[in-house]
Structure 1
Amino acid sequence: MHLTRTQPEDNLHRFYSLEIVRGLFGDWGLVRNWGRIGSSGQVRTDWFATETEAKDARFELHMAKAKRGYE
């Protein structure tokens, strides 16, 4: 899932991406990548025991970002 937020009048050009990945030991990771469009940004991975937990976390983050103006 790739989200962007742009406000040219404020020189705001941001991206936020969310991806669910399977770990080596049967766990599930939610990989988040964010930053300014055109840069590599920052990366963070949060690990969960089940795929359902990872999907729930992704949904919550998506809703929080949507409230802040990401599309």
Structure 2
Amino acid sequence: MSLYPFKLYCQRVDASRNMARYYMVSIETTLFGEVAVVRFWGRIGRRGGEKSEVFSTERDAASHFLELVRRKRQKGYIPVGNCGNAREA
């Protein structure tokens, strides 16, 4: 079981530029017990790209996850919902 079961779904919408994009990134465990950062992206309502990167440790995967999120936030992507992540009380 992963120590960092995180998922993040973001959108970037700009009607003046006809832009409606999504980006989803998560940390998951593979069938072989490895840790992977999985990404999906594209235009909202369409099938887009997909990429999976395997890391030797969960810490490396979490660092990569946070770096990807930081870059997307700088580009204007805004988180939508909580994607099933646990909420703090």
TM bracket (short chain):
over 0.9
Distance 1:31 1:70 in 2: 17
- In structure 1, the residue corresponding to 2:60 is in which secondary structure? helix
State the one-letter code of the partner of 2:44. I
- In structure 2, the residue corresponding to 1:38 is in which secondary structure? coil
State the one-letter code of the partner of 1:46. E
Query: Mind listing any 5+ residue stretches in structure 1 that lack a counterpart?
Result: none
1:45-64 correspondence runs (5 A):
45-64=52-71
Query: Mind listing any 5+ residue stretches in structure 2 that lack a counterpart?
Result: 1-7, 79-89
Distance 1:49 1:27 in 2: 7
TM-score, normalised by the number of residues in structure 1: 0.94
TM-score, normalised by the number of residues in structure 2: 0.76
Shift of 1:26: 2.5
- In structure 1, the residue corresponding to 2:26 is in which secondary structure? strand
Match of residue 9 from structure 1: 16
- In structure 1, the residue corresponding to 2:20 is in which secondary structure? strand
Alpha-carbon RMSD: 0.8
Higher RCO (Cα < 8 Å, 6 or more apart): 2
**Hey, which of these two has a bigger chunk of helix by percent?**
1
Q: Which of 31, 55, 60 in structure 1 is aligned with 2:38? A: 31
Match of residue 20 from structure 1: 27
Distance 1:55 1:12 in 2: 29
**Hey, which of these two has a bigger chunk of strand by percent?**
1
